[in-house]
Amino acid sequence: MATATTAPFEELTRLASEFVTSQKGMWDHKAWMDFLSRVQQKGVEISEELQWKLGDLLEAMKEYHMAVSSTEDIEKAMSTIFNESVAFIKRQDGVWGHAEWEDFVTTIRQNTQTWSDGTETYLGGVLESLKAFYKSSSSASVRRPTPVAQNMPSPAASPAPAPANRRSGNRDDLTAIHGIGPALAKKLTREGILSYAQLAALSDADIAHLEKDVIKSSGRFKRDDWAGQAKKLSQGRK
């Protein structure tokens, strides 16, 4: 029988994997809010901190999805990686050494159609996110889903993830910008970027620093036009 700790872990990771696969590794703020609402409808209640861990997990899953996107049967590949990862995390109780990691990589390599050194890196990211999520999942509870949805908040009313280290000043929901998920929003917030106006006003030097040292993804700002999106969102409130 699943314990109170592993039951939310298993249910949430299953929902997360299905979400990433159905969204083909791409989603916006509305899709994220819909996902949170669907989690609640499944009877899983999670804390604000766990929402952040869930956001980090989704980002890691997205990176892995992109890495194996050329695989012929992407759904099978995603299912394999997460079934094996969840089983490994539970078997090791969230703690493992290099030998256990090597055995796990060998198992995944044997059960996937494509493999590369890059795939192993993304796999490591997924496993680390799952480990952090597993350790925090005890704060979640599972209740019997209510058959009537009248008490469920609409996606727009669902609580948006908020950074754990709150700071003073104006704060905007950076995940409303296409391409910025909860994990990236958290990283930007830690750098002191709290509003659309701040994001829109970043200099080329600031952007270069953030891409290299914070989000570790060169060209991300211009490719997704974060500054342009932020400017429109900022102007839309006036």
Full DSSP string of 115-162: --HHHHHHHHHHHHHHHHHHHHGGG-EE-PPPSSGGGSPPGGGSPPP-
Q: How many domains does the chain have?
A: 2
pLDDT for the residue 223: 85
The whole-number pLDDT of residue 140 equals 57
Q: Is residue 54 part of a domain?
A: yes
Same domain, 88 and 190: no
Kindly state whether residue 53 falls inside one of the protein's structural domains. Answer: yes
- Do 170 and 131 share a domain, yes or no? no
Whether 155 is covered by a domain: the verdict is no
Residue 159 belongs to a domain: no
Which residues does 54 contact at the CB level (< 8 Å), separation at least 6? Answer: 12, 16, 46, 133, 182
- The answer to whether position 150 is within a domain reads no
Q: How far apart are CA 68 and CA 88, in angstroms?
A: 20
Q: Which parts of the chain register pLDDT below 50?
A: 1-6, 144-169
End position of a domain, from candidates 142, 176, 201: 142
Predicted pLDDT at 159: 37
Alpha-carbon 37 to chain mean position: 15
DSSP structural state of residue 3: -
pLDDT at residue 5, as a whole number? 43
Same-domain status, 12 and 127 = yes
> Are 188 and 124 in the same domain?
no
Range of the domain at 186: 164-236
Same domain, 112 and 171: no
Which helix (DSSP H) or strand (DSSP E) does residue 104 occupy?
helix 98-110
Residue 35 CA to residue 14 CA, distance in Å, equals 12
Q: What is the pLDDT of residue 164?
A: 34
Same-domain check for residues 200 and 92: no
